[in-house]
């Protein structure tokens, strides 16, 4: 197709062939793209000067293949967390049914309202490493909540049956603690490690007593715990008493709450005389503070033997 241009200013007609028309179309397209780029840059400058912020997504390091692997790993972790929330919801309903508490506000399907003023110290986009750390920490918290809910459900069941003996008594009369349950700096290597119990300090030879009645399942030397006693209290609950200088009980022996089972020492992986006291539910370490204060106030039950 040819286009013929006529004008009073031109002495003769100008004929535009297909090539001329294609060139003009290309120039028009470039002009439009230039206008769009200018508009985009202008919008960016305006939002930057006015302080408007667009949401920032975490950047993934590595090649596209490596990025996809990282996304897949996060997706697997997310699936595990979703399964954990389903379990947590089930435990919530069980505990609510035994206490009369309305479970609906505590279900994971109910959104928790949030809000607050704009932070004064500014904001920054979350990095991929920070996102992974947050997901890992949240997964750890959900696991801890599952353990605690399972424990509470077992306690409520046994209380209802009047057969519960909770390890609520302090294992030492002094009650002085040198280290709490949870993350801490390891005294041997300076790294952050999880401390699975509570440490009580005292003089060598101070009596260590059973936090509740039960059967001794272990009374022997351990490479890290030193001289250690473990008591099975039933219903999945057990307690451990480590680093003793001397053991006063044997495996299979049945103890009463407050009965002496060992003497304080510093055997095994220890920097000085102390008692490392653990409480476990189905083999998983629990915070002993949930137990020694279970009845409202910590106490020591002393036995004459």
176-192 pLDDT, tens digit per residue, is 888 888 888 888 887 88
Tell me how far apart the alpha carbons of residues 14 and 20 are, in angstroms, rounded to a whole number: 11
CATH number at residue 133: 2.70.70.10
Residue 212 lies in a domain: yes
Residue where a domain terminates, one of 6, 25, 50:
50
Residue 240 lies in a domain: yes
Residue 172 lies in a domain: yes
CA nearest to 249, candidates 199, 215, 212, 299:
215
Residue 218 lies in a domain: yes
Residues 39 and 157 in one domain: no
User: How many domains are there within the chain?
Assistant: 2
Q: Where would I find the H helices in 179-295?
A: 289-292
Q: How confident is the model at residue 236 (pLDDT cuts 50, 70, 90)?
A: confident
DSSP secondary structure of 175-187:
--EEE-SEEEE-T
Residues 35 and 170 in one domain: no
- Residue 196: give the domain boundaries: 129-305
Residues 238 and 141 in one domain: yes
Q: Cβ(201)–Cβ(274) under 8 Å? A: yes
Number of H helices, E strands in the chain: 4, 15
Name the DSSP letter for residue 62: S
Is the pTM value of this prediction over 0.75? no
Residue 299 lies in a domain: yes
Considering Cα of 64, then 69, then 73, then 76, what sign does the dihedral take? positive
Residue 217 scores a pLDDT above 90: yes
CB 73: neighbour CB atoms within 10 A?
12
Name the DSSP letter for residue 195: E
What are the E-state strand segments in the chain?
3-5, 14-16, 177-179, 182-185, 192-195, 198-201, 207-209, 214-222, 226-234, 237-244, 246-247, 254-255, 260-263, 274-281, 284-286
Predicted pLDDT of residue 6: 47
Residues 175 and 299 in one domain: yes
- Quote the mean pLDDT of the chain: 74
12-71 pLDDT, tens digit per residue, is 554 555 555 555 555 555 555 555 555 555 555 555 555 444 445 555 667 777 777 877
113-170 pLDDT, tens digit per residue, is 656 566 666 666 767 777 778 777 777 777 777 666 666 666 666 555 455 567 888 9
Residues 41 and 154 in one domain: no
Residues 144 and 287 in one domain: yes
Residue 289 lies in a domain: yes
Residue 239 lies in a domain: yes
Q: What percent of the chain has pLDDT over 70?
A: 56
Residues 172 and 28 in one domain: no
Residues counted in the chain? 305
Residue 89 lies in a domain: no
Predicted pLDDT of residue 304: 46
Residue 76 to residues 69, 73, 82, 127, 135, Cα–Cα distance (Å):
11, 5, 10, 19, 11
Which of 3-7, 147-151, 194-198 is predicted with the least confidence, judged by mean pLDDT?
3-7
């Amino acid at each position: 197709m040819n286009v013929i241009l006529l004008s009073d200013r031109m002495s003769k007609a100008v004929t535009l062939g297909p090539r001329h028309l294609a060139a003009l179309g290309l120039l028009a397209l470039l002009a439009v793209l230039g206008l769009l780029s200018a508009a985009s840059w202008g919008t960016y400058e305006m939002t930057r000067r006015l302080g408007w912020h667009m949401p920032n997504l975490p950047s993934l390091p590595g090649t596209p293949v490596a990025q996809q692997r990282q996304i897949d790993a996060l997706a697997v972790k997310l699936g595990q967390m979703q399964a954990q929330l389903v379990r947590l919801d089930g435990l919530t309903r069980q505990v609510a049914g035994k206490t009369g508490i309305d479970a609906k506000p505590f279900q994971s399907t109910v959104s928790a309202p949030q809000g607050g003023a704009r932070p004064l110290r500014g904001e920054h986009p979350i990095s991929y490493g920070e996102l992974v750390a947050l997901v890992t920490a949240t997964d750890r918290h959900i696991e801890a909540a599952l353990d605690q809910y399972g424990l509470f459900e077992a306690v409520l069941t046994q209380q209802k049956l009047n057969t519960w003996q909770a390890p609520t008594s302090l294992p030492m009369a002094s009650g002085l603690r040198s280290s709490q349950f949870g993350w801490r700096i390891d005294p041997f290597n300076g790294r952050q490690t999880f401390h699975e119990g509570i440490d009580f300090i005292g003089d060598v030879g101070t009596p260590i007593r059973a936090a509740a009645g039960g059967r001794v399942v272990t009374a022997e030397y351990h490479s890290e715990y030193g001289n250690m006693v473990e008591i099975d209290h039933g219903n999945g609950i057990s307690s451990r008493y480590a680093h003793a200088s001397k053991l006063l009980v044997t495996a299979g022996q049945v103890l009463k709450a407050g009965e002496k089972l060992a003497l304080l020492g510093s055997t095994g992986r220890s920097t000085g005389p102390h008692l490392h006291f653990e409480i476990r539910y189905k083999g998983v370490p629990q915070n002993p503070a949930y137990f020694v204060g279970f009845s409202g106030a910590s106490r020591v039950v002393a036995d004459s033997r």
